[in-house]
Amino acid sequence: MSEAVSRPSLPPGVRRGVWSVVVVLLLFDGLAFLAGEAPRVALLKALEGTWGTMYGLGQVIYKATPLLLTGLGFRVALRAGLFNIGVEGQLLLGSFAAGVVASRLPSSTPWPLGVLMSLGAAGVGGAGLGAVAGAMKVKFGAHEVIVTLLLNRIVEALVPYVLRRGVGVTGYRSGDAISGALLPRLEQLSEVFRGSAASLATVLALVVCLLVLRWERSSVTGREFGWVGLGAGVCEAQGIPGGRRLWQAMALSGGRAGLGASATVLGYKGYYELGLGAGAGFGGIAVAMLGQGSAVGLVGAALLLGTLQQAGLVLNASLPREAMDVLTAAVLVAASAGRGRR
């Protein structure tokens, strides 16, 4: 009998990525055609404005950085069986906290310490909000989706109020961060990135991504988050404190999301203003769903969505702003469909 020849197959993560890119390209062509733009011309213009120049690439990297960090935040909750819609509000509160602390540190604060204190404030702000949702889940059985959505709205209303009450220099922004709390722009390290908003926050995000994924695989607590997501029966059999791990997962989820302020507040603007980084929390959900726990997958997904965001600005004159939102939604749908094609 002749032996069956097995066909080589791509890893599931790679297949999902390829499938998503194909769907995005096809949908992009359709949207360009409906808008009266030649699909080939629109695609070339988008590529030129993103990966075709170092400025465009820098902008893609800048937009991908908070997406990667919020994606990491959403992922830790998802592993524990929680759907943390609140990463948007946790990023907002973390950004606000980072902006306030960075602007109120003594001007003599040295650079490493100022950055660490500002990032610490961002992490604590996001973690605190996540911890509230986790406590509501554990103590009262409240559904985390409902709680985090409500917390998003509370923070959206509370931050402008606090800014107007004297915390900020105006009703819509904090004071300027001291120089010791800023992350250097990439253009300060290389002239090729001149004009772009990319900063060392990207390096920080990559380091955090690698450390987080390593911690999840090698630490007891990191593995227990995954077991908690399998159900209460698994927790009881393994002697895992399920309630405590759920609370911790939500707190860590919020803390990682809050670190997205490193790119927007400390790396780009140098202060917090209303609307800064808006949408990166919800975009991080797409990154986590598409990346599926692989470092390469998460970084690739963040770059893909960052490319779509920058392409939306490049094509703003010829395509409606909502077109990129449609493409982002298509990424999620394609990723879900790709999971079912294993």
Q: Are 131 and 76 in contact (CB under 8 A)?
A: no
**Residue of 103, 95, 92 lying closest to 166 (CA atoms):** 103
- Please give the share of the chain, as a percent, with pLDDT higher than 70: 90
Q: Are 59 and 198 in contact (CB under 8 A)?
A: yes
CA–CA separation, 270 and 262 (whole Å):
10
User: Mean pLDDT, to the nearest integer, of 320-328?
Assistant: 77
Assigned domain for 286 exists:
no
Domain that holds residue 120: 76-278
Q: What is the pTM of this model?
A: 0.90
Q: How many structural domains is the chain composed of?
A: 1
Assigned domain for 54 exists:
no
Q: Are 185 and 262 in contact (CB under 8 A)?
A: no
Q: What is the pLDDT of residue 323?
A: 77
Assigned domain for 182 exists:
yes
288-310 pLDDT, tens digit per residue, is 988 877 898 899 989 989 998 99
Assigned domain for 181 exists:
yes
Assigned domain for 289 exists:
no
Assigned domain for 196 exists:
yes
119-132 pLDDT, tens digit per residue, is 999 999 999 999 99
User: Mean pLDDT, to the nearest integer, of 238-248?
Assistant: 86
pLDDT over threshold 50, residue 1: no
pLDDT over threshold 50, residue 342: no
pLDDT over threshold 70, residue 163: yes
- What are the start-end ranges of the E strands in the chain? none
Cβ contacts of 6 within 8 Å, gap of 6 or more: none
CA–CA separation, 10 and 218 (whole Å):
26
Assigned domain for 65 exists:
no
Assigned domain for 312 exists:
no
CA–CA separation, 323 and 297 (whole Å):
24
Split at pLDDT 50, 70, 90, the class of 2 is very low
CA–CA separation, 131 and 249 (whole Å):
8
The radius of gyration of the chain from alpha carbons, rounded to an integer in Å, stands at: 21
